[in-house]
Structure 1
Amino acid sequence: MKRQSRLAMPKGWRFTISAGDHHAGRQVFVDFECYKCHEVAGEDFPAPRVEQGNVGPALSGMGAMHPAEYFLETMIDPNASAAWRIKHHKDEDKGYLGADGTSKMPSYNDTMTTQQLIDLVAYLKGLTAGAHQH
């Protein structure tokens, strides 16, 4: 009889992000100045700077379009999202890409806590007004 390892993964297990606090997530959005590159219609954030050009996609309505794990991945690895956008939005202005073809979005892996990340995802998931279809 083979002994089952205590480290075995439960059948059907899938990673999901825990629920966060969207109010705290909005504050994370402000604290990390995400509004400098990402427009959110209906919010009173300062507008992205004109000299930056079209850096990041507008986030209005994005909460209805993507699962929480998508937002999590885009913040942990901004290039994963950039690669998807390049493939699926070929005619879009790629202002979010640097000259080397990688995302201009900085990594916050060393500065943002896990709780801040979870709360920011909760805020982004709450951005459902004005959703558009791909």
Structure 2
Amino acid sequence: MKLFKLLPTRRLASGVLAALSIVLLLGGCDRGPKSGYGFTLPQGDAEAGAKTFVALECTACHSISGNKAITQPQNPQMTIALGGQVSTIQTYGKLVTSIINPSHKLAKGYPETMVAVAGRSKMRVYNDVMTVTQLADLVTFLQAQYQLKPFIPSEYAPYQ
């Protein structure tokens, strides 16, 4: 008899949980004044972006994985690899942010002392040097250097 009394309560609880989840997910879609919603740069030119990458001396610290046409100088300050196969897409927004606000997220997989001083990226801020056209070209070039790794499912059954 108690089982029948608990059944509606469990349905109600699962419904409330589902509704709460939806509210939380929608709340994460911030469209406030600092939202990036609606922002996009014009389409860039990847070939011009490669030239910008070299002209702005990005090769002093960055290498392009698998791109033999762009090489680092003989004694680079450091080598932070860009491009290659990745498990998550390098979005246009992530790349723009990395260029105009390099301290937003430091390069993973490197000792912090190599890429930052007191929590601030060692990367030069190009905001007063680079044109919007150069930024669009550079991002278009960089985005083309990344390839999404194919998903390989586990050979093991999911744990239940």
TM-score under structure 2 length normalisation: 0.59
Query: Against the structure 1 CA distance between its residues 53 and 125, is the aligned structure 2 distance closer, same or farther, given a 3 Å change threshold?
Result: closer
- How many angstroms apart in 2 are the aligned matches of 1:114 and 1:31? 15
Within 5 Å, give how 1:89-128 maps onto structure 2. Answer: 89=108, 92-94=110-112, 95-98=114-117, 100-128=118-146
Q: How many residues align?
A: 113
- Closer, same or farther in 2 for the Cα pair 1:33/1:53, shift >3 Å? closer
2:84 to 61, 66, 69: 61
AA in 2 matched with 1:60: G
Q: Percent identity?
A: 30
The answer for the alignment partner of 1:5 in structure 2 is none
Are residues 81 and 25 of structure 1, via their aligned partners in 2, closer, same or farther at CA, if it must alter by over 3 Å?
A: same
What is the deviation of 1:42? 2.3
TM-score by length of 1: 0.69
State whether residues 61 and 132 of structure 1, in contact with CA within 8 Å, keep that contact through their aligned partners in structure 2: no
Do the aligned partners of residues 28 and 16 (structure 1) sit closer, same or farther apart at CA in structure 2, a change above 3 Å counting? same
Rounded Cα–Cα distance in structure 1 between residues aligned with 2:129 and 2:98: 15
Query: Which amino acid is 2:94 matched to?
Result: Y
- Give the Cα–Cα distance (whole angstroms) in 1 for the partners of residues 83 and 136 of structure 2: 19
Per-residue deviation, residues 58-110 of structure 1 (Å, max 9, x unmatched): 0122787310111111111110022xx4xxx4x64231112x22100001111
Partner of 1:77: 101
Specify whether residues 18 and 113 from structure 1 end up closer, same or farther in structure 2 by C-alpha distance, changes over 3 A only.
same
2:52 is matched with: 28
Gapped runs of 5+ residues in structure 1? 1-8
Letter matched to residue 22 of structure 1: A
CA RMSD of aligned residues (A): 2.9
Report if aligned partners of 1:36, 1:49 keep a CA contact under 8 Å in 2. Answer: no
Higher strand share: 2
Q: Which has the larger radius of gyration?
A: 2
Distance 1:117 1:19, change over 3 A: same
